[in-house]
Amino acid sequence: MSKTIESLLVEKRVFKPSREFSKAARIGSMAEYRKIYEASIRNPEKFWAAEASELVWQKRWSKVLDWKAPFAKWFVGGKINASENCLDRHLSGPRRNKAALIWEGEPGERRTLTFHQLHREVCVFANILKRNGAKKGDRVLIYLPMIPEAVVAMLACARIGAVHTVVFAGFSSDSIRDRIQDSGATLVVTADGGYRRGQVVTLKQNVDQALEGARGVKKVIVFRRTNQDIHIKPGRDVWWHREAEYVTADCPAEPLDSEHPLFILYTSGSTGKPKGILHTTGGYLTSCYATSKYIFDLREEDVFWCTADVGWVTGHSYVTYGPLAAGATCMMYEGAPNWPQPDRFWKIIADYGVTILYTAPTAIRAFIKWGKEWPAKHDLSSLRLLGSVGEPINPEAWIWYHETIGGGRCPIVDTWWQTETGVIMISPFPGATPLKPGSATLPFFGVDAAIVDDHGREVGADQGGKLIIRKPWPGMLRTIYGDKARYRKQYWGEFKGVYVAGDGARRDKDGYFWVVGRIDDVLNVAGHRLGTAEVESALVSHETVAEAAVVGRPDELKGQAVVAFVTLREGAKASKELADKLRKHVGTVIGPIAKPDDIRFAEALPKTRSGKIMRRLLKQIVEGANITGDTTTLEDFRVLAELRSRDD
Ligand code: PRX
């Protein structure tokens, strides 16, 4: 039986950056990319040291890398502060009065904070943290809506050396409690509430519930956002605005060891129990800065909008640390993309002249479903670059994004990375790389990525296998908080000294990477191992399909039969005829082997709160099994109930 993953979907379209774009870009040709890439792989330490030198260090490192696999120390002996690099270093020049954050609340309020103003807010809040007992090394749990205070709280922790653990405001009290217990947080920062799809969310109430039965939290600092009634527990809970009256805006940035922990972020992906991914200061910041600068090719006049919530790693690296370290202006929006109408994003882009939009395939597929008329209402001509992250982007969704949002003129950076990698690892350079829809293209500088078989041998062009990274990089996770053994086993246990990402992928003859899905999701049909992403992309390329999720069902004859869950675009109707058409369509696009045996139409698919399809749950449904394992990250339980009732 074949050990590698077969890859049958062939995408032939190629899009080159315009001459104009290339000319203005930092990396303007493939020759330049290759030259720097090859040098960075021959001597990664030299490359990273040069990038790190562009940041402010309170004390320079004595050694770039200390690597005792799988444990890395970067910029050994160096002292640095992330908040100083995101703020103070911009204050002495023309960026002082440049917008750092432009924010819009869901109900419509607008706020702009210049670097000077943001610095001031961060210093005030850092002093509030200190006043409430937070010290260097303490863990602070942040549970806030997408408001500037979320960024302020993160940077204030970084300023005093407290370790933040941000919990997405859509998570429940159980999730907060688990994370408090695992991280040992002593302080919680929250708000009375937030706004989502016109509703007021009860954040403080969730924290109160989480703290029943959780020990160790001494103080809760509450920001007033919605002005709703909340319970204030005397001695424990304090108001942010009241505390601000007692402190000054003078708070020097604490000199921190390069390996001082910056944050813990819990991730479960789509399977398993959440793990606390630990990132440290100097290396992470260097990687955030370098990737932001080269991949988004940031310019002083850009308005950069990463739509991710700060509760995800994308919000850590590309709302907060990367763009601010690079002195960029970031757009931030609190609410839902379809509130009050499905054109909210497009209105924001037009209103603020957003130049770079970085979002997720799940959002793009929703936009496609809602229809072209919504973006058509607004002037999107300020956009010059688009980005995608979080899942493989189906080629048809890519084309739609390119044409309908990017007006055919904006390159798309499809960026592959993970909470664990901290920063973008595989991505186009927008002024250099010819783009192929659906491919994250080529590795970033210093990233030694490859595809191997089950024995760790590199496979040839167009053969599928496991995506690995062969050298340490500064932004890599340092451990799973409190569980070194799990860290070692999960990421470095399979091949010695090699990071295994858990994704299946292939490289084509040009060396481009195509991620075909999580290894756990790979299908095995009559001895052929197929990635879920390809079958799903084939379905999505049909004009009636909005979204698809493919899983295997045990089959006596074939090993696994292919079952596809499909949601339709607005206006399309589910029928047996359509199911037959879709099966045929997949047969034509990929080949008969990939034809779904069973197509089930659904209103919605089970997703994590960050928008990833939870194939594990769909698999349990088609197997008729009970839903087991961790479901705390599931976005909407009704979706599951609905799918199950159809199955009975
Ligand atoms: O399977 C890959 C998929 O998302 C996983 C990482 O998820 P998470 O830790 O939540 O981080 C998301 C934000 C970086 C990866 O293992 N993934 C992410 N980006 C891409 C992707 N798959 C294909 N193409 C991408 N661009």
pLDDT in tens, 483-492: 999 999 999 9
pLDDT at 648 (0 to 100): 45
Give the atom of ligand 1 at the shortest distance from the alpha carbon of 426: 26
Atom 25 (ligand 1) nearest CA: 416
Given pLDDT bands bounded at 50, 70 and 90, which one contains residue 104? very high
pTM, entire model:
0.94
Helices H / strands E in the chain, number of each: 21, 30
Taking the centre of ligand 1 as the mean of its atom positions, its distance from the CA of residue 389, in whole angstroms, is: 6
pLDDT at 448 (0 to 100): 98
List 101's β-bridge partners, or say none.
113, 330
pLDDT at 630 (0 to 100): 67
pLDDT at 272 (0 to 100): 60
pLDDT at 645 (0 to 100): 67
**For the domain bounded by 19-446+472-499, which CATH number is listed?**
3.40.50.12780
At residue 430, φ and ψ (nearest 5 deg) are -65, -25
Give the other-Cβ count within 10 Å of 57's Cβ. 18
515 in contact with ligand 1, CB cutoff 6 A: yes
In the block, which residue shows the tokens 């078989």? 453
Q: Residue 527: helix, strand or coil by DSSP?
A: coil
Please give the Cα distance from 286 to 302 (Å, whole number).
Answer: 21
Domain borders along the chain are: 19-446+472-499, 522-647
C-alpha closest to that of 160 among 312, 57, 56, 262: 262
CB 163 within 8 A of CB 139: yes
423 in contact with ligand 1, CB cutoff 6 A: no
C-alpha distance from residue 289 to each of 259, 327, 428, 533 (Å): 17, 10, 17, 31
Does 525 have pLDDT greater than 60? yes
Please give the Cα distance from 477 to 462 (Å, whole number).
Answer: 29
Taking the centre of ligand 1 as the mean of its atom positions, its distance from the CA of residue 276, in whole angstroms, is: 17
Neighbouring residues of 357: CB distance < 8 A, sequence distance ≥ 6: 305, 307, 345, 349, 383, 385, 386, 387, 405
437 in contact with ligand 1, CB cutoff 6 A: no
Give the residue with greater pLDDT, 10 vs 13.
13
Averaged over 558-576, what is the pLDDT?
Answer: 93
pLDDT at 357 (0 to 100): 98
Label the pairing between strands 449-452 and 275-280. Answer: unpaired
Does 268 have pLDDT greater than 80? no
Taking the centre of ligand 1 as the mean of its atom positions, its distance from the CA of residue 521, in whole angstroms, is: 14
Given pLDDT bands bounded at 50, 70 and 90, which one contains residue 632? low
Taking the centre of ligand 1 as the mean of its atom positions, its distance from the CA of residue 557, in whole angstroms, is: 33
361 in contact with ligand 1, CB cutoff 6 A: no
Q: Residue 505: helix, strand or coil by DSSP?
A: strand
pLDDT at 12 (0 to 100): 84
Largest Cα–Cα distance in the chain?
73
Averaged over 248-271, what is the pLDDT?
Answer: 91
Give the atom of ligand 1 at the shortest distance from the alpha carbon of 608: 10
pLDDT in tens, 118-133: 999 999 999 999 999 9
Pocket test for ligand 1, best of 287, 389, 614 (most atoms within 8 A of CB): 389
C-alpha distance from residue 140 to each of 126, 221, 260, 606 (Å): 12, 11, 15, 31
Please give the Cα distance from 9 to 28 (Å, whole number).
Answer: 30
CB 33 within 8 A of CB 429: yes
At residue 385, φ and ψ (nearest 5 deg) are -150, 140
pLDDT at 300 (0 to 100): 98
pLDDT in tens, 35-61: 999 999 999 999 999 999 999 999 999
Helix (H) or strand (E) holding 265: strand 261-267
616 in contact with ligand 1, CB cutoff 6 A: no
Averaged over 567-575, what is the pLDDT?
Answer: 92
The string of DSSP letters for 581-622 reads HHHHHHHHHT-GGG--SEEEE-S---BBTTS-B-HHHHHHHH
pLDDT at 636 (0 to 100): 75
501 in contact with ligand 1, CB cutoff 6 A: yes
In whole numbers, what is the pLDDT of the chain averaged over residues? 94
Averaged over 493-497, what is the pLDDT?
Answer: 95
Given pLDDT bands bounded at 50, 70 and 90, which one contains residue 647? low
CA 334 to centroid of chain Cα atoms: 17
Q: What tokens does 378 get? A: 């607004």
Quote the percentage of the chain above a pLDDT of 70. Answer: 98
pLDDT in tens, 531-544: 899 899 999 999 99
At residue 178, φ and ψ (nearest 5 deg) are -55, -45
Please give the Cα distance from 322 to 314 (Å, whole number).
Answer: 10
**CATH number among 3.40.109.10, 3.30.300.30, 3.30.70.100, 3.30.465.10, domain 522-647:** 3.30.300.30
What amino acid occupies position 495? F
pLDDT in tens, 542-553: 999 999 999 999
Please give the Cα distance from 524 to 558 (Å, whole number).
Answer: 8
pLDDT at 531 (0 to 100): 87
pLDDT in tens, 360-415: 999 999 999 999 999 999 999 999 999 999 999 999 999 999 999 999 999 999 99
pLDDT at 3 (0 to 100): 59
Taking the centre of ligand 1 as the mean of its atom positions, its distance from the CA of residue 417, in whole angstroms, is: 5
pLDDT in tens, 153-208: 999 999 999 999 999 998 889 889 999 999 999 999 999 999 999 999 999 999 99
In the block, which residue shows the tokens 């909470």? 419
Does 271 have pLDDT greater than 70? no
Q: Residue 68: helix, strand or coil by DSSP?
A: strand
Given pLDDT bands bounded at 50, 70 and 90, which one contains residue 2? very low
Does 646 have pLDDT greater than 90? no
List 468's β-bridge partners, or say none.
450, 500
Pocket test for ligand 1, best of 270, 506, 515, 614 (most atoms within 8 A of CB): 515
